């Protein structure tokens, strides 16, 4: 580590500790840690993020920002997993938006990439597995490529939690791990999401008004930015409130904290959505009344 890098790291650490001190002096007092939360503090948590061509960037980068910041406080490892190691395009490959329609060519779009560090064959043992959505899901389905679903199903029993963002729930449903569970997904793609078939023949109870849905082992969120709201709630459950509240205020993001209410279910006219509530999504800095 160079002298400049060390100096930068010390400065960052001082800023985070100072911010935590200020928050601790002015915010609500968090509850004590549970035994499970204390145990996680003392071990390295292995995080895996699935990638495929045409993943939705914020589905990955939003929750990953929170995980990255939390790794300042807690030991984590990260595996970025795809069918092949190397750069994975966010720009969707050619795909049909409807049966019989010509392939949609989106080659004119910019193309952020993420480098996959592992493949489905050599990915390490995972505690947390995250699955983004994106229109690349359509291309995989249209090519009868079930490699992502098969990987999820094969690793499900050994993981502690599996979380999906947006239409990542489509992949979970196809894999069979949502059989018999409640789930939600992107409200703008509700019909397409809720009509997918499980490889194991099970059924999913889709929750139209939820921002995210929690099951004992599987969490699913609504569309795109909702992944950050779910990840905040998940980190709060997983590690406790103190550090995650600090980092959310450091990145100046006020998460939606009501899992049962997604105003975009009304915006997108989702069947069965609760249309009696105000669309004003009142949020504020976490940890404050």
- pLDDT tens, residue by residue, 111-145: 999 999 999 999 999 999 999 999 999 999 999 99
Q: Please give the order of strands across the beta sheet that includes 128-131.
A: 118-119, 76-82, 45-50, 128-131, 161-164, 218-221, 212-214
Q: Which residues pair with 220 in a beta bridge?
A: 164, 213
Which of 16-30, 108-122, 274-288 has maximum average pLDDT? 108-122
Mean pLDDT in residue range 148-165: 98
Decide if 47 contacts 235 (C-beta within 8 A). no
SS3 214: strand
Q: Which residues pair with 105 in a beta bridge?
A: none
For residues 233 and 212, what is the distance between their CA atoms, to the nearest angstrom? 9
For residues 151 and 255, what is the distance between their CA atoms, to the nearest angstrom? 31
Please check the confidence at residue 287 and state whether its pLDDT lies above 60: yes
Instruction: Give the pLDDT band of residue 289 (cuts 50, 70, 90).
Output: low
Decide if 172 contacts 131 (C-beta within 8 A). yes
Mean pLDDT in residue range 85-96: 95
Closest CA to 67 of 237, 197, 203, 235: 235
Q: pLDDT at position 116, please?
A: 98
Map out the domains of the chain with their CATH numbers.
42-94+110-267 (3.40.50.880)
Q: pLDDT at position 30, please?
A: 86
Please check the confidence at residue 31 and state whether its pLDDT lies above 70: yes
Of all residues in the chain, what percent carry a pLDDT higher than 90?
Answer: 81
Q: pLDDT at position 282, please?
A: 65
Mean pLDDT in residue range 158-166: 98
Mean pLDDT in residue range 214-218: 98
Mean pLDDT in residue range 181-199: 95
Of all residues in the chain, what percent carry a pLDDT higher than 70?
Answer: 90
SS3 183: strand
**Average pLDDT for the chain:** 91
Owner of token pair 């997904």: 185
The Cβ of residue 103 has, within 10 Å, a number of other Cβ atoms equal to: 12
Owner of token pair 């105000």: 278
């Amino acid at each position: 580590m160079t002298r400049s890098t060390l100096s930068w790291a010390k400065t960052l650490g001082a800023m985070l500790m100072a911010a935590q001190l200020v928050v601790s002096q002015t915010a609500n007092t968090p509850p004590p840690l549970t035994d499970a939360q204390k145990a996680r503090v003392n071990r390295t948590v292995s995080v895996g993020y699935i990638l495929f061509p045409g993943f939705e960037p914020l589905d990955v980068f939003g929750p990953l920002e929170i995980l990255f910041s939390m790794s300042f406080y807690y030991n984590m490892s990260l595996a970025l997993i795809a069918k092949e190691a190397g750069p994975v395009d966010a720009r969707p490959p050619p795909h049909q938006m409807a049966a019989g329609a010509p392939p949609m060519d989106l080659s004119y779009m910019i193309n952020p990439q993420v480098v996959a560090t592992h493949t489905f064959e050599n990915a390490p043992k995972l505690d947390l597995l995250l699955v983004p959505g994106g229109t690349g899901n359509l291309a995989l389905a249209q090519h009868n490529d079930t490699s992502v679903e098969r990987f999820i199903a094969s690793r499900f029993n050994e993981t502690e939690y599996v979380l999906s963002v947006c239409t990542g729930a489509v992949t979970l449903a196809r894999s069979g791990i949502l059989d018999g569970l409640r789930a939600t997904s992107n409200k703008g793609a509700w019909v397409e999401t809720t009509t997918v078939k499980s490889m194991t023949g099970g059924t999913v109870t889709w929750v139209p008004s939820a921002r995210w849905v929690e099951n004992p082992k599987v969490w699913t969120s609504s569309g795109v930015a909702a992944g950050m709201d779910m990840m905040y709630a998940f980190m709060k459950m997983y590690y406790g409130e103190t550090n995650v509240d600090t980092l959310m205020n450091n990145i100046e993001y006020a998460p939606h904290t009501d899992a049962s209410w997604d105003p975009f279910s009304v915006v997108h006219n989702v069947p069965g959505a609760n249309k009696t509530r105000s669309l004003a999504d009142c949020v504020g800095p976490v940890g404050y009344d």
